[in-house]
Structure 1
Amino acid sequence: MKNIGITTTVPIEVLIAAGYEVKDLNNIFITDENYCKYIDDAEKDGFPRSSCAFKKGVYGVAVKAGFKEIIGVTEGDCSNTKALEEVLRMKGVRVYPFAYPQSHRLEDVKISLDKFMNIFKVSFEQVERIRIRLVKIRKLIKELDELTYIENKATAVENHIYQVSASDFNGNYKEFENDLINKIEEIKKRNPVEKKLRLGYIGTPPMTLDLYEYVEKFDARFVYNEIQREFAFPRAINCNSIYEQYYDYTYPYDVKFRLEEIDRQIHERKIDALIHYTQAFCYRQIEHIVIKNSISVPILNIEGDKLNALDERTKLRIEAFLDMVIDLKEIE
C-alpha cells in the first residue's frame, strides 16, 4: 500500500478509497522522542527560527521519512503551509491540492471535494462506503469522549490522544478501531474522578502534552479538547454525505463558526474556564482577541514554541489562573 502524508486533517475517506495508507506528519513529529531533530533539520535547510515549530517538524518528517506524496491544503490552513509545500516540491515531493473554501457554502465544499475525488480517480459512491465505515469508529471516539465529560472516567490525555489520532487513524483504521475498543472497555471499569473545576482546552493541539498532567495536580481536569474533537468529526454521525461532514468541520473556517460550537460545549459540559493554547508565530494568536471577547467563562492564553514541556513561567500562570477560577466559583 502506498503512503501519503497529510499536514492537517483532510478528507481521509478519499485517500483510503484510492488505496493509500495515510500518515499525519504532525503526529509522527510530536510523538517522536527525538522530535527536535526534525526542527533542526528544517533550520539547517533554511527555515527561519521565527517560524512555526510544527511547520518545521512536518518538513523534517516529510524529508527524513522519505514521503513522496503529500496533501497540500491551499485554503483553510496556515498561510505558512503554502511556502512549506513549495519547498517540498523543490525536494521532489508531489503535492496534491485541497481547499476548504472560505465562503463556507455547502455548494463550494461540494465543488472542492469533487475536485479532490477527481484527482485520485475515485467516485462519490466509493468515498461514501469508506465514510460510512469510518463513522463506526467515530462513534467509538464519541463514546470515549462521553467517558471523559459525562462518566469522568477517561483522562484528558486519553481524550486528546484518541481524538487527535483520528486525523489518520494511525495509518490503519482497522487496527485503530481494535485498540479503541479495548481502551474503552478498560476505561469503563474505572471509578469516576471528580474535580472541582471542569476545564476546556481550545486551540491547536499542544506541543506540551504535560499540560494535562500538570493541571490534574490541582483540583481541576479537562473535559473538552476542542480541535482534537473536531479532528474526530463527532457530528459526522448525523451527516448524510461527505459534503455535509466537511462543511460541518469547524477548524478551517472563520472563528465565529468555531465559537458557536465552543459555546455549545461550554454549556453542555458545564465548563468553568478555558485554556487557549496558541503556537508561537501562528496567525491564530491574533484570533485570541476575538475569542476572549466572545467567551462567557474565564480564559487563559498560553503559548508554545519548540519545547514539548511546560516552562516554569507558564506553570505559574496556570496555577494562578486556576486559583482565581476556584475563588470565583466559591463566591458564586
Structure 2
Amino acid sequence: MKKAKRIGFTTSFPVEVIFAAGHIPVDLNNIFIEGNAAQHIRNAELKGFPRTLCAWIKGNFDAALAANLDEVVGIVQGDCSNGASLTSMLKEEGLPVWHFSFPQERDYTELDKEIAKLEEHFGVSRVQTLQAKRRLDSIRKKLAVLDGWTSQERLVSGKENHIWLVNSSDFWGDPDRFESELDAFLKQASRRQPIACKYRCAYLGVPPIYSDIYDRLRDLDADVVFNEVQRQFSMPPIGDDIVQQYLAYTYPYSVFERLEDIQTQLRERRVDLVFSYTQAFCHLQIDNILLKKHLDLPFLTLEGDQPEELDSRTLLRLESFFEVHG
C-alpha cells in the first residue's frame, strides 16, 4: 500500500483528484491563517519577500515550508497573479511543484485537458476521480443545508457559515472527520432559535485576513447571510460532471462570472448591505471597481493587510456606514 502524501495547494481546484490518489490535500491559506500567521509573514520577509506584497502570498510560502508537505500544486491561472512566483520560491526551497491552470475563458475542452493532466500526474483515472467526487458531494449537500440555514432559517451565523464553507476547500484532509463534525454541528444548530439581526449583509471577495470582522458586524446588529467566495468553495450547484462543476465555480474566471452569481444571491437572500473585502496589493482591487459599479445596494469596500483585528479607522468606517444606511 502506497504512503499517503501531503499535497499542499494555493487555492481551490479539483481536489477530488488528490483524494482519489489516496493523498491528503492541504489548503495553504487555511494552515497559514489558522496558525501563527504573523510569524509566517515575518519568516517570509526574512527570506526576502517585500513588505509591499500580499500577506497571503508570504504566509502561504512559510506555512508550506512548515507543514511537512510532499508536494505543492500551484494554481497559476485563475488565482493570484503572484502564484507562479510563489511556486518558484517553493521549488527553490526543495518542494516538488505541479502547476494547475484554469482556462482564461470558461472552456470545457481546455479544463478537461487540465484535469486529465492532473489525474495523470497523480496516477488516477477519471472513474476514480468521479468516485471521489461523489463522496465529497455527499458532504457538500450538507453544506448547502448549512448555507440555507444562514440565509433563510437563520440557525447558523455568518461567522459559522464562513468557517465551515472555507474549510470545504480541503475538508481538513479527512472527509470522514469533517462530515462527522459537520453532522454534529447541524444537529446542534437545528435546536436553536433563529438568530436575529437588523441588517442582512453580503460579504464579497476572498476570505478576510481580519480575525474579528464577523464579530464586529454582530456588534452592529448585522450578520452576513451570503459569503460569496467561501460558498464557491463548496461547489454549488452540485453536478455529476467534474469538468462542468469547475466551470460553474466562479472564482477562477472573470469578475463578470462572479457578478452573475452575486446578483442572483443578493436577490434570493434579501441582502440589505454589501461589504466587499480586498487584500492590500491584490489585483482583485481592480475587480472591486466593477463590483461596486454594477451592484445597486449600499456598498462598502474593506481593505485588509495584516492578520489582526479590525483597526480603529476601519471600525469607524463600519459604524459610519451603518449610521448612513441604517
Range of TM-score over shorter length: over 0.9
Question: In structure 2, which of residues 18, 21, 24 is the aligned counterpart of residue 21 of structure 1?
Answer: 24
Question: In structure 2, which of residues 54, 58, 61 is the aligned counterpart of residue 59 of structure 1?
Answer: 61
Structure-2 residue corresponding to 1:275: 275
Structure 1 contact 35–57 (Cα < 8 Å) conserved? yes
Structure-2 residue corresponding to 1:161: 163
Structure-1 residue corresponding to 2:310: 310
Matches within 5 A, 1:1-332: 1-32=4-35, 34-236=36-238, 239-326=239-326
Question: What is the aligned-residue RMSD (CA, Å)?
Answer: 0.9
Q: Distance in 1 between matches of 2:13 and 2:282?
A: 20
Structure 2 unpaired stretches of 5+? none
Structure 1 contact 42–60 (Cα < 8 Å) conserved? yes
Aligned-residue offset at 1:308: 2.1
Letter paired with 2:224: F
Aligned-residue offset at 1:301: 0.3
Structure-2 residue corresponding to 1:330: none
Q: Distance in 2 between matches of 1:197 and 1:245?
A: 32
- The TM-score with structure 2 as length reference comes to 0.97
Deviations 1:108-167, CA, capped at 9 Å, x for gaps: 211111111111121110000010111110011111111111111111111000000000
Deviations 1:182-215, CA, capped at 9 Å, x for gaps: 0001111110122221000000100113110101
Letter paired with 1:6: F
Aligned-residue offset at 1:68: 2.9
Q: Distance in 2 between matches of 1:240 and 1:169?
A: 19
Aligned-residue offset at 1:20: 0.7
Q: Distance in 2 between matches of 1:220 and 1:38?
A: 32
Q: What is the SS of the residue equivalent to 1:78?
A: coil
Structure 1 contact 272–325 (Cα < 8 Å) conserved? no
Structure 2 contact 17–124 (Cα < 8 Å) conserved? yes
Deviations 1:4-59, CA, capped at 9 Å, x for gaps: 10111111100111111111111011011x22111011000000000010010000
Q: What is the SS of the residue equivalent to 2:19?
A: helix
Q: Distance in 2 between matches of 1:69 and 1:114?
A: 18
Structure 1 contact 277–302 (Cα < 8 Å) conserved? yes
Q: Distance in 2 between matches of 1:321 and 1:207?
A: 21
Detail structure 1 runs of 4+ shifted over 6 Å in the superposition. Answer: none
Q: Distance in 2 between matches of 1:91 and 1:184?
A: 42
Letter paired with 1:2: K
Letter paired with 1:84: L
Structure 2 contact 5–69 (Cα < 8 Å) conserved? no
Deviations 1:52-97, CA, capped at 9 Å, x for gaps: 1001000011112232300011211111111011011111111111
Letter paired with 2:25: V
Aligned-residue offset at 1:307: 3.2
Q: Distance in 1 between matches of 2:38 and 2:6?
A: 23
Q: Distance in 1 between matches of 2:16 and 2:195?
A: 36
Letter paired with 2:15: I
Letter paired with 2:98: Y
Deviations 1:230-270, CA, capped at 9 Å, x for gaps: 0111212xx13111100100000000000000000000000
Q: What is the SS of the residue equivalent to 1:150?
A: helix
Q: Distance in 2 between matches of 1:248 and 1:117?
A: 20
Structure 1 contact 117–124 (Cα < 8 Å) conserved? yes
Letter paired with 1:19: G
Q: What is the SS of the residue equivalent to 1:216?
A: helix
Q: What is the SS of the residue equivalent to 1:193?
A: coil
* Amino-acid identity (%): 41
